[in-house]
Amino acid sequence: MIQASMTDFPGCISVDIVGNKQLTKQILMENKIPVPEGDTAYSAEIAVQIAKEIGYPVVVKPMDSNQGKEVSLNLQNEQEVEAAFNEARRYARVVVVEKYIKGTDYRVLVVGDKVSAVSERRPPYVVGDGFHTVKELIEIENADVLRGDDHEKPLTKIKLDASVKKVLKDQGLNENFVPPLGDRICLRYNGNLSTGGTARDCTEEIHPYNARIAIRAAKALGLDIAGVDITAEDISRPIFDGNGAVIEINAAPGLRMHIYPTEGKPQNVAGDILDMLFPKGSPSTIPIVSVTGTNGKTTTTRLIRHTLTLGNMKVGMTSTSGVFIGDECILEGDNTGPISASMVLASKEAEVAVLETARGGLVRKGLGYDLADVGVITNISEDHIGIDGINTLEELAFVKSLVIEAVKPDGYAVLNADDRFVSYFMERAKSEIILFSRNSMNPVLKKHIEAGKKAVYVENNVVCIFDGKNEVPLINVGEIPITYGGIVECNIENSLAAVSALYALGVDPELIRRGLETFKPDMEHNPGRFNIIDMGDFKVMLDYGHNPAGYREVMKYVEKVECKRLVGVIGMPGDRDNSSIYKVGEISGRYFSRVYIKEDNDLRGRAAGEMADILYDAVIKSGVRKEDVEIIYSEDRAIEKAILDAMPGDFIVVFYEDFELAAEVVERMRTEISRNKAASEAVIQNVG
């Protein structure tokens, strides 16, 4: 982070120290850096005493002021010191009195390990024309297009304030004096640009010894960027043997004098600062993988993160279960929008970002990044139709395509060759493309491979990577735990998407294989996705099916499960259209022999009971007997009732809204069933 010319590298103590002029000087002295002799004073009497001890002329200035406020130079006697002390006390409780170093005021800008620029700072002045007063000459000078208020222009307007009037008075003048033609009238003692001064670039003139002194001074105070003020007769001569001294250090130095010098060549100090922050050859960004689609986004995102973590990378991930930096969840809940992505990208710990990117965030706020290294679209199917102005699948595909359009030219768009919109996405992609497919004979995939393009596919039940020339066998589908022996087709698809993204990032195939082997369909690795809990005599599965396609994928699996009875606890988000809700009811009615209908806690604009009625009608019309359908609006009570009614050999599928709640209910009921079973066995033993 950068604010003005200050980065977030220095500690706050370093910044505070340079605000204390006396402490700064003490540290510089300890590091053998030449500084003016002097001390601090809390009273005018002590200030005069210090001045006498170090010898006139002296400088009096507030301990912790800036921009040259109330700095009095070249004081020659006791009366001047007393007056200067009283002025300085207006800005600080403690006043510094130090030896006046005769010479020119130079600002040396240190950036990292180098001197980036040097300026000779000149106090503001006006030149007489024999007609105008000093006040009028200042007004004429302020009319210069280069002068503005504060920092808006290269130079700052000169203010006819008390300090200027004092300097005029010291010269026996006032603002109404008319200087003769050619007379130069000094208006301030300091050359700060913020008070109207000008600057001459003299970067090429600084002596190497002086440059080393400035760099040492910045390092001694823990600053990566510092404005080192040096007073010397000539900056091209070394400042030792009384030839000059370091007067002050600034933690947030102004850059205008270097970028817009009044005289001399501008210096690219901003470039030096950026080069220091991002050295050539060092990474200035982290890889970004963005995953979107209708279904499978969360599983794909988690699998990519899991595999990268095995490679000892600290992954920042956004997902429907929260924002993660490494193993720590920094924000719980559904976080799949641009704000969550920005949280990951702002983290200094994350070495790679894996971002689940949902439709809602895309439509409302766009992406949370500029360009990704890899963009993934898992699939497009019916969901969120009629929301946010998206009324067709084609419009949904258009929105999702933003993820693959916003990929670096040397990055990859990962696309599902089995999806109906694959050709459309291939046209919109601006980067290289990796296609994946569950069918190695897919015509779109085959054409892609024949063109020497990269692909990931299943052939003879083996996941293979085509690198553009050769086929690399990776792993048997049945060895991937989340596919349950190759039965869960959607997780085969999700695995292929993850493999493609990882391969696009340059991850070693051996590590990819290890990631697939160790990513389990449990509540630790993939919570809420095909999680099966053994309840003893029956099983419960938790899944976040929330649209017709999601329900179909679950049914493809459960119809292959050996069980005596399939039971469903079903529901749908209220912002889906009636036809989608009805389709879910139809699908459920065709597979489940007993159904519990519940409603989400967040009805999303629906009236209570409205969705349940639609689901009930669809389930009944699909052939389930009325006595086998029960409406229980509360999700936790519906899950609990389904478990209480369970018969040996049942397989209960719960399509939840709140995973934490659903998991808590199932675990509580499992513990209770286990306890009751143990108690019953104990009774039988005792009877026996």
Q: What are the boundaries of each domain within the chain?
A: 2-277, 288-518, 531-677
Domain 2-277 has CATH 3.30.470.20: yes
SS3 186: strand
Average pLDDT for the chain: 92
Q: Does 43 score more than 90 pLDDT?
A: yes
Q: Does 681 score more than 80 pLDDT?
A: no
Q: Does 192 score more than 90 pLDDT?
A: no
Instruction: Give residue for tokens 């070394």.
Output: 238
Beta bridge partners of 41: 95
Enumerate the H helices of 55-170 as residue ranges. Answer: 78-88, 134-142, 162-170
Measured between alpha carbons, how far is residue 170 from residues 135, 274, 350 in Å? 16, 44, 60
Question: 531-677 has which fold?
Answer: Protein-Tyrosine Phosphatase; Chain A (3.90.190)
Closest Cα partner for 434 from 404, 408, 454, 460?
454
> What tokens were used for 595?
């159904």
Identify which has the larger pLDDT, 570 or 192.
570
Between vectors from CA 393 to CA 391 and to CA 399, what angle results, nearest 5°? 85
**Residues 107-129: tens digit of each pLDDT:** 999 999 999 999 999 999 999 99
Q: Does 151 score more than 90 pLDDT?
A: no
DSSP 8-state code for residue 390: B
**Residues 585-625: tens digit of each pLDDT:** 999 999 999 999 999 998 988 999 999 999 999 999 999 99
Per-residue pLDDT band for 2 (boundaries 50, 70, 90) equals confident
CATH tag, 288-518? 3.40.1190.10
**Predicted TM-score of the model (pTM):** 0.74
**Residues 537-558: tens digit of each pLDDT:** 999 999 999 899 999 999 999 9
> What tokens were used for 449?
């491979």
Closest Cα partner for 492 from 472, 462, 533?
462
Per-residue pLDDT band for 50 (boundaries 50, 70, 90) equals very high
What's the chain's length in residues? 688
Predicted pLDDT at 687:
64
Question: What is the Cβ-side half-sphere exposure of residue 519, based on CA atoms within 13 angstroms?
Answer: 31
Predicted pLDDT at 70:
73
Residue pair 581/607 in contact (Cβ under 8 Å)? The answer is no
Q: Where is average pLDDT lowest: 151-160, 314-323, 576-585?
A: 151-160
Contacts of 18-25 spanning 24+ positions with Cβ under 8 A: 18/221, 18/223, 18/226, 18/249, 18/250, 18/251, 19/64, 19/251, 20/63, 20/64, 21/61, 21/63, 21/64, 21/96, 21/248, 22/63, 22/94, 22/96, 24/221, 24/248, 24/249, 25/98
Whole-angstrom distance, CA of residue 210 vs CA of residue 237 = 8
Q: What percent of the chain has pLDDT over 70?
A: 98
User: Alpha carbon 367 to chain centroid distance?
Assistant: 13
Predicted pLDDT at 65:
66
Predicted pLDDT at 67:
58
- Mutual orientation of helices 78-88 and 44-54 as an angle, nearest 10°? 130
Q: What percent of the chain has pLDDT over 90?
A: 78
Most confidently modeled range among 148-157, 173-182, 672-681: 173-182
DSSP 8-state code for residue 470: -
Q: Does 240 score more than 90 pLDDT?
A: no
**Distance from the first to the final alpha carbon of the chain:** 75
Average pLDDT over residues 652-665: 95
Closest Cα partner for 247 from 167, 166, 187, 192?
192
Whole-angstrom distance, CA of residue 112 vs CA of residue 483 = 53
Residue 98 φ/ψ, nearest 5 degrees = -145, 165
User: Alpha carbon 153 to chain centroid distance?
Assistant: 32
> What tokens were used for 306?
């899991």
Between vectors from CA 273 to CA 267 and to CA 274, what angle results, nearest 5°? 115
Residue pair 247/38 in contact (Cβ under 8 Å)? The answer is no
Predicted pLDDT at 464:
97
Per-residue pLDDT band for 676 (boundaries 50, 70, 90) equals confident
Predicted pLDDT at 688:
58
Predicted pLDDT at 167:
87
> What tokens were used for 337?
């929008």
Q: Does 69 score more than 80 pLDDT?
A: no
Whole-angstrom distance, CA of residue 551 vs CA of residue 653 = 10
Beta strands per DSSP E along 405-538:
407-416, 432-437, 455-459, 462-466, 471-476, 531-534
Helix H, strand E, coil C: the string for 629-649 is EEECCCHHHHHHHHHHCCCCC
Predicted pLDDT at 68:
59
Rg (CA), the chain: 37
Per-residue pLDDT band for 352 (boundaries 50, 70, 90) equals very high
Whole-angstrom distance, CA of residue 545 vs CA of residue 595 = 15
Average pLDDT over residues 317-329: 94
Average pLDDT over residues 209-219: 96
Q: Where is average pLDDT lowest: 25-29, 242-246, 341-345?
A: 242-246
Residue pair 514/626 in contact (Cβ under 8 Å)? The answer is no
Q: Which helix (H) or strand (E) holds 530?
A: none
Q: Does 47 score more than 80 pLDDT?
A: yes
Sign of CA dihedral 229, 235, 239, 244: negative
Whole-angstrom distance, CA of residue 362 vs CA of residue 346 = 19
